[in-house]
Amino acid sequence: MESLILSDFEQKYYSELFLSCDVDNTKKVASNGKVRDLFRAAQLSNEVVHQIIELCGATRLGHFGRSQFYIALKLIALAQSGLPLRVESLNSVRDLPLPRFVMGKNEQETRHTVMYTDTENQGPYLPRPPGRVQAKKVSAHEMIQPCVPTVEPQPDTTSPVVSPHQSPPTSPHAWRKHKRQASGGNVDRQPSVPGVVWPPFREAQPGPVTGEGMWSAHSPPPVQESWVSFTDTPPSSTLPMHPPSAQPDSTTVRTVLSAMITNEIQRQTSGYDDPWKITDEQRQYYINQFKTIQADLTGLIPGSAAKEFFTKSKLPILELSHIWELSDFDKDGALTLDEFCAAFHLVVARKNGYDLPEKLPESLMPKLIDLDDSAGVPEPAPEVGFSASPVEVTPNKSPSMPSLNQNWPELNQSNEQWETFSERSSSSQTLTQFDSNIAPADPDTAIVHPVAIRMTPSKIHMQEMELKRTGSDHTHPTSPLIVKPPELSDETKLAATIKFPGTTVGDGYSSSDSFTSDQEPISSAVNRQRSHSGTSPEGLKVVAPPPPPPRPHTTHSRSSSLDMNRNFAAVPAGPQQPGVVAFPPAVPPRPLPTQTSVPHGHRSVEGDGLPAHTSTSPQQMPEQPNFADFSQFQAFAVDQPADDGEKPSDSGQAERCAETTGTMRTAKTDIQSEDRNATTVNSAKVSTPLAPPPKPVRRRLKSEDELRPDVEDLPQKSNVIATVLATQPSIPRSIGKDKKAIQASIRRNKETNTVLARLNSELQQQLKDLLEERISLEVQLEQLRPFSHL
């Protein structure tokens, strides 16, 4: 019985009554005297009264303590509303009107009763008579503050009227609820409160403390017998005077709020076109409220401030949370003016009994374009960014279609990022659109914060990828193969490896995984070759400029790409040996000496090499169609490392040409034989071929044999190269001494070149074989494991 739940409204009323009964200020009321009068005034039969007194425990105690008194009052209310007197029903019945007491003490009381009935009738009335409106306003003021302050200015007659008059008003406003819900929601409602002319704003249950506290603090002054006396309009008319003067600052908001709410209710009820429409007056009010929190109308209210503000409305936190979710459209944890107005409006509506909508109504949607210019601006940016990046990727895709291999890893990544983009934007859109279906620019704003943060890194990454692709595309639009050599040497080893295997594999083999896996061994091979070339800088004057980034799509058809791959594979080694191989495939060995001399000159003097290269390059061009000639790979591989020079393209071409024709091989063998004839053979490999015709065969066989045993040859070759290169450091010194020495050194360099070129070609061949194996394995794997990693 003790756990009596009273609305603050009831609390105030009861405590007022109690105090009025407690003339002795003893905090307990005797069962006689006033209490009895009071109970009798309740117009209940004596039996009921007795029953009530018994139930509340006063008979047990012999007197009415505060709680008993309250219980008794509540029971009286129960009885008056015709409900059975049960202790359980004390707390369960929500929709309990205040107990009515008819005191014949003064006409005020009678008026009160009259008013009471009056108000009852008018309880759920929507259109308020102006007088009532005022009263409403006044009462509305007491959201938190009870009538007390208003009581003070008014002594005696009016004050008693005022206090109870106002206490009911302090209860919340759910006038609509009166109509709709017979048995209360979470808020106690007083459909007819003595002295309440309009449905008071009802606050949620957990709110009454402050009000009551204040009220009881002030209640002693207005101790009057005729607590129930209400005047009709006079008190109500007087009421407005008090609240403005008496109210402390903290309640100004409340009062204004309540005033607005009442007006709003009226409007709403009268108009009822769009319950969510914000009228101008309301909007102005909201704007004023916004200013109290945030002076800048275009600024944001931080979440904490908004939380404090809206907590004052005494709505349950869950509902406030829901309101926040509805109104914070861009999900930034802060409220713009529009969002604030929407939230405020929802609070008001909720207090008036409207159920919160699932989605933000259209009329409450924040107008992002108008007010939130700052929010609107960043919105399109990230959106554009998102859409742009996929778009950017696609054009890259199309030109790179012919060579899918290298594109694949990047494209796959970009696809994923596309996924990221689209997912992010769509998810944010769904998040925001739960509020409404219309969301004009809202998804953008919704995306601003999280999306912008998330998208940029991937966007940047995508752009990087794009740049790589486009860069490679742009720089070498004509022939991707040409690009290859410069790209390879230019990029970091890793990048080169990425591109390199791509071209080597060539055939548009799908899995990017395979690519990446391929890249390592290839890169190692490349690196090894490169390092070797790097170690022979002195003699070989590496002239090649840093090649542009490797093109992702350098591979063409399978066969040709394989050839090209070999060419490209040789390219990294190519720069290492400038000017060695610039032979047109069809050119007989005769020009070779000139060419070989040219490379030498090239080493020492770049300029000489250039014309030779250029001269050879056009000759080399026609060789390209011979890509399909795999048999010449090995021979050409030897020739590959030639073109370093200034033009990587030339070297690429040279390599290509070299690889494709068998004559190249012969030419090379001739050269080699020449070299050997000229100088002592340093490496074993150089020494082997003697006669031109058998050389290629032998070399091929040998290279094949060498290539078969895989990578282990590579270190051997590297050792060979190392030994060869080791001899070279002495060369530059000798140049300055003797012509003969110079020539000898030149010859030695040539030999080294040829050796390295051959080694290169052999390695290339090995690489090619390995790649082929890998490709076949991958194909098998794909067949066995369908699309597991797509």
Partner 1 sequence: MAVCIAVIAKENYPLYIRSVPTQGELKFHYTVHTSLDVVEEKISGVGKALADQRELYLGLLYPTEDYKVYGYVTNSKVKFVIVVDSSNTSLRDNEIRSMFRKLHNSFTDVMCNPFYNPGDPIQSKAFDSIVSTMMVQAF
Applying CB under 8 A, does 333 fall inside the site for partner 1? Answer: yes
Applying CB under 8 A, does 416 fall inside the site for partner 1? Answer: yes
Closest distance between partner 1 and the C-beta of residue 337, in Å?
A: 17
Closest of 625, 622, 596, 620 to residue 608, by C-alpha: 596
When the beta carbons of 276 and 434 are compared against partner 1, the nearer one is: 434
The interface mask with partner 1, positions 252-291, x = CB under 8 A, is ----------------------------------------
The interface mask with partner 1, positions 284-313, x = CB under 8 A, is ------------------xxx-xx--x---
When the beta carbons of 317 and 701 are compared against partner 1, the nearer one is: 317
Position of tokens 């001494």?
737
Report the residue from 51, 106, 237, 427 that binds partner 1 according to the rule CB under 8 A: 427
Q: How far apart are alpha carbons 301 and 293 in whole angstroms?
A: 7
Report the residue from 210, 434, 711, 744 that binds partner 1 according to the rule CB under 8 A: 434
The interface mask with partner 1, positions 470-499, x = CB under 8 A, is ------------------------------
Footprint of partner 1 on 348-377 (CB under 8 A): 358
Report the residue from 5, 126, 371, 431 that binds partner 1 according to the rule CB under 8 A: 431
Stretch of residues binding partner 1 (CB under 8 A), selected from 109-117, 192-200, 427-435, 651-659? 427-435
Q: What are the phi and psi torsion angles at 284 (to 5°)?
A: -65, -40
Going from the C-alpha of 666 to that of each of 178, 186, 305, 444, 585, the distances in angstroms are 106, 99, 86, 67, 9
Report the residue from 250, 363, 430, 594 that binds partner 1 according to the rule CB under 8 A: 430
When the beta carbons of 277 and 307 are compared against partner 1, the nearer one is: 307
Report the residue from 225, 325, 538, 608 that binds partner 1 according to the rule CB under 8 A: 325
Closest distance between partner 1 and the C-beta of residue 349, in Å?
A: 17
Number of residues that bind partner 1 (CB under 8 A): 29
Q: Given CA atoms 215, 218, 224, 225 in this order, what sign does their dihedral have?
A: positive
Closest of 775, 520, 487, 537 to residue 648, by C-alpha: 487
Q: Which residues pair with 301 in a beta bridge?
A: 335
Applying CB under 8 A, does 152 fall inside the site for partner 1? Answer: no
Stretch of residues binding partner 1 (CB under 8 A), selected from 160-168, 320-328, 615-623, 645-653? 320-328
When the beta carbons of 130 and 787 are compared against partner 1, the nearer one is: 787
Q: How far apart are alpha carbons 77 and 44 in whole angstroms?
A: 10
3-state helix, strand, coil in the chain (%, to 5): 70, 0, 30
Report the residue from 36, 94, 322, 367 that binds partner 1 according to the rule CB under 8 A: 322
Applying CB under 8 A, does 324 fall inside the site for partner 1? Answer: yes
Q: How far apart are alpha carbons 676 and 690 in whole angstroms?
A: 8
Contact 499, 552 (CB under 8 A): yes
Stretch of residues binding partner 1 (CB under 8 A), selected from 241-249, 418-426, 550-558, 592-600? 418-426
Which own/partner contact pairs does 367-372 have at CB distance under 8 Å and 24+ positions apart? 367/338, 368/329, 368/330, 368/338, 368/440, 368/441, 368/442, 368/444, 368/445, 369/440, 369/441, 370/338, 371/297, 371/298, 371/336, 371/337, 371/338, 372/298, 372/330, 372/336, 372/338, 372/445
Contact 346, 335 (CB under 8 A): no
Report the residue from 26, 84, 183, 318 that binds partner 1 according to the rule CB under 8 A: 318
779 burial type by CB count under 10 A (0-12 exposed, 13-18 middle, 19+ buried): middle
The DSSP-derived string for 607-620 is HHHHHHHHHHHHHH
Joined tokens for residue 315: 């709505």
Applying CB under 8 A, does 712 fall inside the site for partner 1? Answer: no
> For binding to partner 1 (CB under 8 A), which residues are involved?
302-304, 306-307, 310, 317-318, 320-322, 324-325, 328, 331-333, 358, 416, 419-420, 423-424, 427-428, 430-431, 434, 450
